[in-house]
Amino acid sequence: MSSCLAQEVHLARRHEEILSQRSELLQQMETYLRDKKTKKTWQTQAADAAHKRNAALLNDIEIAEKKLQERMHLLPHPDTVKLETLYWASIKESLPKWEEFLLGRAEVPIGFKKMKATKQSINYPEEDSQKYTF
CA–CA distance, 104 with 118 (Å, rounded to integer) = 21
Report pLDDT for 134: 41
Question: What pLDDT shows up at residue 71?
Answer: 81
Average pLDDT by stretches of 10, the chain with 134 residues: 88 97 97 97 96 97 92 82 93 86 81 56 51 46
On whether the CB atoms of residues 97 and 109 are closer than 8 A, the answer is: yes
